[in-house]
Amino acid sequence: MIMMKTAMAGRLNIVGHGTGAISTVIVCVSYLSLINGSLSKSIEQASNDIAKLQSALRRETTTTHDVRHVRSDVSSAENRSAAIRNRIPDSRNEAKLLEDISQVAVTCKLAVLDYRRGRVNEQNELAQFNIDLTCEGSFSAICKFVDALQSLERLVAIEQLTIDADGKDGPYQLSLSVALFYRTESLAVGQIFVPKSRPRMTEVNTT
């Protein structure tokens, strides 16, 4: 986890400073895609693992040693699934989100210039809403801020990230589109929901 988060900051540094670009645009997948594969892939894999392992337990040919091993694997898969579910709240709770983001920005010495509520999609069991942020600060502060968002208690998916600067030394302006998730009443406790869409990643650098 830490290595991948560090790589994310390094990725921004390489693109922003290594190219010497005046304007750098990065359209990236959610941070889970960078850390642990896509959100849907992680949940789907955990669900498939649990089903296969539980099926193995029911087979008569399974030995006592195998049973212990399989049960351990089932527990591990269930823990991975639970870790993801536990980061998805039962309500939108946007006020708490704004408070958390503001605190992260202060800690990273980044100024939040604008906060806009985006689209909301409650058609599925796992509801999603988006917010758009505009911040300003040093390049180092931006890298720290992006890493800190990944460590929030709540699951956060970065959909689009844009960094602009008037000159080589900044100041830099960060435009960020973030997707967040929350459960709807139709998502039963312990149920695993697999989002249908899978994010993509492209990069565009303009000089």
Q: Which of 64-68, 69-73, 93-97, 198-202 has the least mean pLDDT?
A: 198-202
Phi, psi of 174 (to 5 degrees): -110, 125
Distance CA 119, CA 130 (A): 6
pLDDT of residue 103: 94
137 pLDDT more than 90: yes
Can you tell me the mean pLDDT for 167-188? 78
Q: Which of 38-47, 129-138, 154-163 has the least mean pLDDT?
A: 38-47
Q: Report the mean per-residue pLDDT for the chain.
A: 69
pLDDT of residue 33: 38
CATH topology of domain 2-36+90-206: Alpha-Beta Plaits (3.30.70)
User: Could you report the per-residue pLDDT of 81-98, keeping only the tens digit for each?
Assistant: 777 778 888 888 888 989
Can you tell me the mean pLDDT for 100-104? 93
- The residue with greater pLDDT, 77 or 156, is 156
- The residue with greater pLDDT, 9 or 82, is 82
Residue 149 · residue 156 · CB < 8 Å: yes
160 pLDDT more than 80: yes
Identify which of 25, 20, 30 has the alpha carbon closest to the alpha carbon of residue 173: 25
10 pLDDT more than 60: no
Domain limits of the chain?
2-36+90-206, 39-85
pLDDT band at 16 (very low <50, low <70, confident <90, very high): very low
Residue 31 · residue 157 · CB < 8 Å: yes
pLDDT of residue 56: 64
Distance CA 187, CA 169 (A): 48
